[in-house]
Structure 1
Amino acid sequence: MAVTRADVARLAGTSPALVSYVLNGGPRQVAPATRARIEAAIKELGYRPNMAARSLRMNRGHALGMVIPDGANPFFAELSAVVEAAAFAKGYPIIIGNAAGDEARERAYVSAFIDRRIEGLLAISSTWKSGIADECAAAGMALIAVDRIIDPARCTHVICDSLTGASTAVNHLISHGHRHIACLSGPHVSTADERVAGYRQALQHAGLPENVIVRAEFGGAAGYRALAEIMNGTPRPTAVFVTSDLQAMGMLRAAYDAGLRVPEDLAIVAFDGIEYSRYTRPGLTTMVQPTRRMGELAVELLLEQIDTDSTEIGVHRLEATLRTRGSCGCADDF
């Protein structure tokens, strides 16, 4: 049988109301000696509050929500794991909705979270035209946008500096002597668009012309298919900057199947820094996103909004770090 507040009150020699005051932090103060007895009884009995009932009384759900665009993508899986751990450490369960790249599905998850009165939402939007900020504002729900831009004028963002990171990646290829560098981009979301802008910026500063730019979905299959179009660039590229690790991993396999040597025939540098990138052959040179810091900062800012009932608008841009391996021509130490 579940332990109740009445059981705690009997063991502590006090009333259930005082047990509630201790558990909820008010509305009345409890004498230190009485509080100590109640806390000791809670510990001895192993009492756990009924969070569902407590949520109804508080008119909110004691949980956080997170919407991600693709649960199968290792980058989003790694980021979600960081967010879950950070939220759990603060006493909040988190419910994750996988939009699977579908705008309608994304909207359905946001509506479901609002209907369930969760306390705050972390959102990685599937589209530039997201209405998440408007929906959360109308519902009075705290919101932090992560990884992708939603609406800088309406909510706080925690993102990686994709433009600077992409420029660093292309400059690294240039330092290896490459002058004909192609780009494989993702779909039209802020991260992909900023990485293409960084690619162009690096070439412009080096006085080099753009080569072919191919747009494809994020994913290994898209990267595999894109190789043929990349190699039709004029002049034929000797290197390619790829805007996601998964695409680059697919391209590595396509290069092998086509008889191309990496990096001798085609050097590859990517962006994300997922765990699996170290296990390719050759190892994938990539811009490593500060995934842990992104997730922890996003949770920290969201809980601050919830606690203060205020919204501080701003964009927190975190720096990516170049991790060199064999795909660009650097040493391939494992």
Structure 2
Amino acid sequence: MAVTRADVARLAGTSPALVSYVLNGGPRQVAPATRVRIEAAIAELGYRPNVSARSLRTNRGHALGMVIPDAANPFFAELSAVIEAAAFERGYPLFVGNAAGDEEREQAYVRTFIDRRVEGLLAISSSWGAGIADACEEAGMVLVALDRVIDPARCAHVLCDSVAGARTAVDHLIGHGHRDIACLSGPHVSTAEDRVRGYREALAAAGLPEGPTVRTDFGGAAGYRALPELLTGPRRPTAVFVTSDLQAMGMLRAAYDAGLRVPEDLAVVAFDGTEYARYTRPGLTTVVQPTRRMGELAVEMLLKQIAGGTPQPGVVLLEAELATRGSCGCPDDFFVASEGGAF
């Protein structure tokens, strides 16, 4: 005979409603001690919720959807992995759609998730922006935005404070004595715009002129191709603030091919804090986004709304930290944690 929610409640000494709240993440809070008893009863009895029955009641599939701009970008890959793990721990499979920087493809994935009636959507907009909020609102689907602004008046956002992070990065270059600092920006998305703004604010606060700013894609090839343009002009920059790790990795290769020494001839500081940044030579100094906190918080906010919580539109800003390595002139201590220790 199949184990029921009532069986779990009897073993835990509580009500079936509280068992439901634990399984669904709400809509009411459950006391920690009660939650422990319920989770122990679930494990002891081997109880599994009837997802098919729940889907029929709610007219939605028991799954979450996520749209990302570029699956090849390490930052989006790492953030997706965090979100997938957080969703899985809470009993939700996650379906990911890769927009590949194409607005039509992004729209197609959003409509597909709506048609398949996933319970909620997490979105990092490639270019469609507020159109995602329009589509979700029309379909009655819960939406949480990450990394890039969609529509703070209509949905919750979880973002890294890119302005403050960029200021920290440029201040660090100024602290190394640089006075001619260029900027390699990303495309016209809120993330790139905020990082350029932070770059400009740091220079203005230090009484320094803006250096050349080049706008391109976030990819490595774009970073490689951008270096000659950044170095053109009457005052060649001695340092560059780059708005993504992947761009900066391409630029490091371009500098090597051009016979430039990093950081002696050109210092480089980037933004994202991906795992791969530590493996460049020299190691890439970068602003580290709180990827784990960002992903887990976004999932928590989405599931609270799915469970009947009140939507809270607006923006939650999370603080970033600067990881210093050799590309800016700091010590380049390299180690890899492994089963046998560090080397």
Whichever residue aligns with residue 137 of structure 2, its letter is: A
Query: 5+ unaligned residues in a row in structure 2: which ranges?
Result: 8-14, 22-39, 335-343
**What is the CA-CA distance between 1:134 and the residue it aligns to?**
1.2
- Sort the Cα spacing of 1:41 and 1:118 in 2 relative to 1 into closer, same or farther, 3 A: closer
Give 3-state SS (helix, strand or coil) of 2:307's partner: helix
Whichever residue aligns with residue 292 of structure 2, its letter is: R
Residue in structure 2 matched with residue 308 of structure 1 by the alignment: 308
Task: Determine if contact 1:128/1:149 at 8 Å carries over to the other structure.
Answer: no
- Sort the Cα spacing of 1:40 and 1:205 in 2 relative to 1 into closer, same or farther, 3 A: closer
* Greater Cα offset, 160-169 or 133-142: 133-142
Whichever residue aligns with residue 90 of structure 1, its letter is: R
Aligned partners of 1:50, 1:108: CA distance in 2, in Å?
A: 30
Residues 73-106 of structure 1, C-alpha deviation per residue, up to 9 Å, x if partnerless?
1100000010011111111111111111111111
Give 3-state SS (helix, strand or coil) of 2:297's partner: helix
Residue in structure 1 matched with residue 174 of structure 2 by the alignment: 174
Residue in structure 1 matched with residue 59 of structure 2 by the alignment: 59
- Sort the Cα spacing of 1:332 and 1:54 in 2 relative to 1 into closer, same or farther, 3 A: same
Residue in structure 1 matched with residue 2 of structure 2 by the alignment: 8
Residues 109-165 of structure 1, C-alpha deviation per residue, up to 9 Å, x if partnerless?
111111111111100001264301111111111110001000111111000000010
Map 1:173-322 onto structure 2 (within 5 A): 173-322=173-322
Higher Cα radius of gyration: 1
Give 3-state SS (helix, strand or coil) of 1:157's partner: strand
- Sort the Cα spacing of 1:327 and 1:58 in 2 relative to 1 into closer, same or farther, 3 A: same
Percent identity between the aligned chains? 73
Aligned partners of 2:41, 2:79: CA distance in 1, in Å?
A: 38
- Sort the Cα spacing of 1:57 and 1:42 in 2 relative to 1 into closer, same or farther, 3 A: farther
Aligned residues: 308
After superposition, the CA RMSD in angstroms is 2.5
Aligned partners of 1:265, 1:42: CA distance in 2, in Å?
A: 60
Give 3-state SS (helix, strand or coil) of 1:66's partner: strand
Task: Determine if contact 1:128/1:188 at 8 Å carries over to the other structure.
Answer: no
Task: Determine if contact 1:8/1:41 at 8 Å carries over to the other structure.
Answer: no
Residue in structure 1 matched with residue 138 of structure 2 by the alignment: 138
- Sort the Cα spacing of 1:41 and 1:303 in 2 relative to 1 into closer, same or farther, 3 A: closer
Residue in structure 1 matched with residue 71 of structure 2 by the alignment: 71
Give 3-state SS (helix, strand or coil) of 2:281's partner: coil
Aligned partners of 2:129, 2:57: CA distance in 1, in Å?
A: 36
Task: Determine if contact 2:103/2:128 at 8 Å carries over to the other structure.
Answer: no
Aligned partners of 1:132, 1:302: CA distance in 2, in Å?
A: 15
Query: 5+ unaligned residues in a row in structure 1: which ranges?
Result: 1-6, 14-20, 27-38
**What is the CA-CA distance between 1:267 and the residue it aligns to?**
0.2
Residues 182-201 of structure 1, C-alpha deviation per residue, up to 9 Å, x if partnerless?
00000000000000000100
Aligned partners of 1:227, 1:206: CA distance in 2, in Å?
A: 25
Whichever residue aligns with residue 297 of structure 1, its letter is: L
Stretches of 4+ aligned residues off by more than 4 angstroms? 21-26, 39-44, 46-50
Task: Determine if contact 1:63/1:118 at 8 Å carries over to the other structure.
Answer: yes
Whichever residue aligns with residue 92 of structure 1, its letter is: Y
Q: TM-score, normalised by structure 2?
A: 0.84
**What is the CA-CA distance between 1:327 and the residue it aligns to?**
0.2
Residues 222-251 of structure 1, C-alpha deviation per residue, up to 9 Å, x if partnerless?
000001111114310000000000000000
Residues 42-62 of structure 1, C-alpha deviation per residue, up to 9 Å, x if partnerless?
977x67555345413321111
Q: TM-score, normalised by structure 1?
A: 0.86
Map 1:89-168 onto structure 2 (within 5 A): 89-127=89-127, 129-168=129-168
